Structure 1
Amino acid sequence: MLAVAGLLDGCRHDVVVPTPVVDYYPLEVGTYRAYAVSDTLWNKGVATPTNYQLRESVTEKFADAAGQTAYRVLRARRTSSTDAWVDDSVLVVQPQQQAVLMTRNNVRTIELIYPLRAGKTWKKYAFATAQPDSVRAFDATVEQPFTTPGPAPKSYAATVIARDQQPIEANDGLLRRGGALQIFAQGMGPVLRRRYAYQTFYTTSNNASVITPTVIQVGHSRLEVLIDSGKL
């Protein structure tokens, strides 16, 4: 826990909101959160969408090698509500005094930090030296209401938005656009995740670049929206 405190020292902050971070990422064995996922791939200006559901179930509470509390989260996938869930992958989530950590594919990230402060930034991959130096930041306001998009919208009284800041080469506003964000709701946890990376140009046979500002030529977009939660 001291290591996390050291990594978070020096983070920029403004307005303090004294809400425990665990309220924004509750974890209890036997509970789950289910998401509607919209995945879209673009190739040569043609979009190919895929829709499915993803469930994250908390299956185990244990102590890691450092003696810190950790939770095993099993992700399962299905095409529609009439299909059976099929195990997909496993995450390890650790709620600590100053942060919520997640380990996926052997990479640890800092998903959320405490206390919630408008505009505060931190290094998402502070534990992973082989990963890019990605910075995550809270929006200019915290503890704000939010309603999820989609055919069955859900409203939450208090949420916080955390965005991954993108380097200019990935988000120049003309040829390339990229971004990622998560929205956490008090008492519920992650209610929306979105990431995208687009190219709005293509290269001709003469190696000339043709810009198409309103047409995505190559890219990927993924949106996860919470649709259900409860106990298994």
Structure 2
Amino acid sequence: MHSRARVQRVAIIIGLFTAIVSCVGDVSAISNSRDFFPLTVGRYIIYQVSQEVYATAQQTPSISNWEEKDEISRLVSDSAGIATYLVIRSSRTTSKGYWQKVKEYTVKKYPEMIVTNVDNRPVISMVYPISKGVTWNGNSFNTNGPAPFSYDQINQPATINTKVFKQVLMVIERNDTSIINRYISTKQYALGIGLVADELTALELCQTTDCIGSGKIESGIRTSRQIVEFGDL
């Protein structure tokens, strides 16, 4: 198992090197790349989550709102000596409610990448050095099909949930649209803070002859997570 993991990692490193070399002429690598995904025990971020669920039999979507908190609870090292952070995710229905633990997940900090493992699905969330034009297969460590992730809008200011961040980068995890569906997934990370926005759209559009191409939503889901508060316990 460990040999297989090493082979996977070597292949990923070679792929990353090739991608970075191919785009050196676009934008120079950011020297403080790792500060976009800071990992410290006790650090937490609270998000406002809004979700719209569309069903064929419903004329309007079902809308839900709640808060989630991701807190780094401890640091361990795996058998290869890679730093592994355990994150506890909790939720509550209102800003005054009690937090209830939802799940635990891990974040592995490699020298050249960050691997986030939620629900036993490890994903390469970020690769180093950060540079516009770099692409990588986010699903390299899981059995799902290839997923081309890429950086966009590096070191740009952004306002998220009324909060202003001076240096933000975007990771495009999926951007597939057509006249019959819309699958878009993006994450934004602020320097020194981490994930500040997570937007997911997975919609099936009307495909009958009378409405195809109109953009009418038949079914699917749209979820938005935006930062409310962050700090250290």
Q: Does 1:18 align with 2:18?
A: no
Q: Does 1:137 align with 2:150?
A: yes
Q: For 1:67-216, what aligned pairs fall within 5 Å after superposition?
A: 67-128=81-142, 130-139=143-152, 141-148=153-160, 150=161, 153-167=162-176, 171-172=177-178, 174-201=179-206, 210-211=211-212, 213-216=214-217
Structure 2 contact 202–222 (Cα < 8 Å) conserved: yes
Q: Does 1:53 align with 2:67?
A: yes
Tell me how far apart the structure 2 counterparts of residues 218 and 160 of structure 1 sit (CA, whole Å).
30
- Match in the other structure for 1:220: 221
1:93 partner SS: strand
Structure 2 contact 174–183 (Cα < 8 Å) conserved: no
Structure 2 contact 77–84 (Cα < 8 Å) conserved: yes
Cα deviation 1:166-223 (Å, max 9, x = unaligned): 45xxx21x111110000011000000000111122156xxxx7742624312110010
Structure 2 contact 47–227 (Cα < 8 Å) conserved: yes
Structure 1 length-normalised TM: 0.87
Tell me how far apart the structure 2 counterparts of residues 126 and 138 of structure 1 sit (CA, whole Å).
17
Match of 1:9 among 17, 28, 45: 17
Tell me how far apart the structure 1 counterparts of residues 98 and 213 of structure 2 sit (CA, whole Å).
41
Tell me how far apart the structure 1 counterparts of residues 53 and 213 of structure 2 sit (CA, whole Å).
17
Structure 2 length-normalised TM: 0.87
Moved over 6 A (4+): none
- Match in the other structure for 1:36: 48
Question: Percent identity of the aligned residues?
Answer: 22
1:71/1:209 CA distance change after superposition, 3 Å: farther
Give the superposition deviation at 1:7: 4.4
Structure 1 contact 22–95 (Cα < 8 Å) conserved: no
Q: Whose helix fraction is larger, Structure 1's or Structure 2's?
A: 2
Structure 1 contact 77–85 (Cα < 8 Å) conserved: yes
* Aligned residue identity for 1:175: I
* Aligned residue identity for 2:181: R
Structure 1 contact 21–99 (Cα < 8 Å) conserved: no
* Aligned residue identity for 1:154: K
* Aligned residue identity for 2:229: D
Tell me how far apart the structure 1 counterparts of residues 154 and 42 of structure 2 sit (CA, whole Å).
29
1:17/1:175 CA distance change after superposition, 3 Å: same
Tell me how far apart the structure 2 counterparts of residues 94 and 145 of structure 1 sit (CA, whole Å).
28
Gaps of 5+ in 1: none
Give the superposition deviation at 1:31: 1.6
Tell me how far apart the structure 2 counterparts of residues 5 and 86 of structure 1 sit (CA, whole Å).
38
Structure 2 contact 174–186 (Cα < 8 Å) conserved: no
Give the superposition deviation at 1:101: 1.1
RMSD, matched Cα: 1.9
Gaps of 5+ in 2: 1-5
